[in-house]
Amino acid sequence: MNSNIIKDNIKRIFFPAVIILLGTISRLPALDKSLNELFSFRQTQTAWGAKALTLFKSNDFITETPVFGPPFKVPFEFPIFQWMHFMTVKLTNFSVDFSGRLLALIIFQILAFQLYLLARKLVDSRIAISALILFELSPFGFQWSTAVLIDYLSILMIFLGLNLFSFKRKTNTVYLGIIMLFSLASLVKITTFIICIPLITYLLFCNYKKIKSTYLLWVLIVSIPLLTGAIWTSYADHVKEGNPASVWLTSKNLSTWNFGGLSQRIDPNVWNKILGVLDSLALGFNGSFILILAILVLLIYREKLSVRSLNFAFVLIVSSSLGPLLFINLYFVHDYYFIPLSTFVAIIIPILVQETFKFGKTVINSWPLPIFLSLIIFMMWQSPLGISYYNNLRTKPTIPERSQALKKYTKENDLIILVNCNNWDPTILYYADRRGMQIWAGRENPNNVFAYNAIMKCGEISWTEMGWIGLDDWSEVQSDILVRKNLNVS
């Protein structure tokens, strides 16, 4: 009996601990790299929260962004990650970049263990170990696990809440813990919480089906986090509206950007790009493989399947599909939005592979799952992202030369104006340790100045040379002044 307990503990703790430890060691070289890499604009924007707290003694919960001018308050997500990042800097005395990457890696590995626990509870230890290996060894995981982003933190809070569902004692403390974790996930990234609602619903009814008030509990568990996220979004919009340079970033003005339009949803090129991201970032081959394999499994072995594991995989596929369907433009433009999906995929693939090789009530235990898992991981590393990550291992991202120049010729509290410097990408100002305002001055539409109601020109430049103005929206009240047509000017 004791030997069985020891063996069970080894399987349950030792193997996942070794996998996570090896995964951590293999990622340590990435901690010393600058953030001037893939999607540097989003990484430096996130890391600026800790830098602002460190350099400029910012002391409130409104995230700073250095590119829209004073007072620099442009809140997006509730800055839980940013405060954790700042605390990491203070505790370790490491640089902001190194501390941010270290924190990101810790969050990633805690999520890896939570993923293992959930898969073990809902399926079995073999699927759990397979999912953990897939999660750790994918090039997607290597690329983003040390990136200074909020996405892994949000999905971690979801998985912590999901694992609370399995507590045997259904107490009010457990309910409050679940609601609190889901609310924090919604505050960090509400789009992640929204796509997880099918998964939350499935696990709730699996674990609480004998409770009379299950439906009321579902309403509370879903509605309170959504309401919390909505309140923060409303407050963030109010702050953004206080600065004409950032008013274009309110949720109302970005609704088309966030949700996309019908034209995108019926455009094959958009879906080809999204499947291509799955190809490069999650699977290593065509992203539709999951759907094809799921259909084959259901058609061929529908009477011989483990209903619980297949239901779990199906719900994960629904949650994965919900992201691109609801927020198609965000998934089309930003690859890191696939972080929650990659977490789901790590569980989906082993389930579908194992069920595909299930005949009757027995499973061919010896070879299909590990062989196919190895093949999938190999194909992942043949994807564009895998090849790119491997080739970049020996290179170290450099600090932009413009940042070095700004730091050399200006003082810490100097305000800088940047013109046509990658839209509102804060990378240059981030590495210069400076704040300022970035404006567009070409023919493209400068969204950050559309809130202004009058424009004055000084000098010989003509209005037509300033093609970004959009002359149809303005009235020329005198030769050097334009006002918006909807204003009453006497």
Residue 43 lies in a domain: no
Instruction: Single out the residue in 360, 392, 424 at which a domain terminates.
Output: 392
Same domain, 149 and 259: yes
> Which tokens in the block code for residue 205?
């009814």
Same domain, 293 and 188: yes
Tokens 């004791």 correspond to 2
Same domain, 220 and 360: yes
Using the Cα atoms of residue 282, residue 286, residue 290 and residue 291 in order, give the sign of their dihedral.
positive
In angstroms, the CA 349 to CA 123 distance is 13
Number of domains in the chain: 2
Helix-helix angle 214-241:172-188, to 10 degrees: 30
Which residue type is seen at 223? S
Same domain, 336 and 430: no
User: What residues contact 318, with CB distance under 8 A and at least 6 apart?
Assistant: 198
Predicted confidence at residue 192, as pLDDT, reads 96
Predicted confidence at residue 490, as pLDDT, reads 45
Same domain, 386 and 431: no
User: What residues contact 98, with CB distance under 8 A and at least 6 apart?
Assistant: 31, 32
In angstroms, the CA 32 to CA 98 distance is 6
Same domain, 352 and 454: no
Predicted confidence at residue 362, as pLDDT, reads 44
Instruction: Single out the residue in 375, 392, 409 at which a domain terminates.
Output: 392
User: Exposure pattern of 336-345 as b/e (b: 16+ CB <10 Å)?
Assistant: bbbbbbbbbb
> Which tokens in the block code for residue 433?
């340790």
Predicted confidence at residue 466, as pLDDT, reads 65
Instruction: Single out the residue in 372, 392, 412 at which a domain terminates.
Output: 392
C-alpha torsion 280→285→290→294, nearest 10: 180
Residue 318 lies in a domain: yes
Per DSSP (E only), the strands in 263-414 are 358-359, 362-363
With a cut of 70, which residues of the chain have pLDDT below it? 1-11, 58-62, 209-212, 277-307, 357-368, 419-420, 440-461, 463, 465-471, 478, 480-481, 484, 486-490
> What residues make up the domain containing 109?
2-32+75-392
Same domain, 321 and 422: no
pTM exceeding the 0.75 threshold for the entire prediction: yes
Using the Cα atoms of residue 399, residue 400, residue 403 and residue 404 in order, give the sign of their dihedral.
positive
Same domain, 270 and 329: yes
Predicted confidence at residue 279, as pLDDT, reads 63
CA–CA distance from 333 to each of 248, 258, 270 (Å)? 18, 10, 10
